[in-house]
Amino acid sequence: MKRWIWYLAGALIIGALGKMPFSGTDVAKLQPVEVIRVWWERGQAGIETDTGDSGKGVDIAAAIADLKASAAGEVFLETAEHLIITREALALLPELAEYMRPACTICVEDGETDMKAAAAFLDTHQPEMQFRDFLAGSVKIPTLLTREERMHLVS
């Protein structure tokens, strides 16, 4: 007789959980990011991804919020393999720490960078510096030179 009480209690719990307002994520809307480009221009931080999404704001948090608000789906910055940052935006690196994975590579942009081409180039020619190296105090960030659609990494 006691067993049916446990079955009834289990059924009630399962039924209650089925009516809870859990929010799921539509897998079709997920946008994993491979390359992120960050810049600072005219008092605003900017962020661009290889998926074509971008955002601007007074700081990096506002730029990321703008990026996520304007994206067609759910943008995952945590999947980024590479970070390209302009010299003007180097001061934003500490702010980026909460958004980037430690294994994400970093390079400084020198020239106009095509994000799709940069993704392919950086996958083949991995920059030596990772975000964890920056957090540990390393300051020698390699430079991604882009000249006439050709890219080259300079240590």
CA–CA gap between residue 91 and residue 108 (Å, rounded) = 12
Tell whether pTM > 0.85: no
In the structure encoding, which two tokens stand for residue 100, read together?
């980037």
pLDDT in tens, 55-95: 999 999 999 999 888 888 777 788 888 999 999 998 888 88
CA–CA gap between residue 5 and residue 79 (Å, rounded) = 47
The answer to whether 68 and 57 are in contact (CB under 8 A) is no
Domains of the chain, CATH where assigned: 29-154 (3.30.420)
Phi/psi of residue 19, nearest 5 degrees: -100, -5
pLDDT in tens, 11-27: 667 656 655 555 555 55
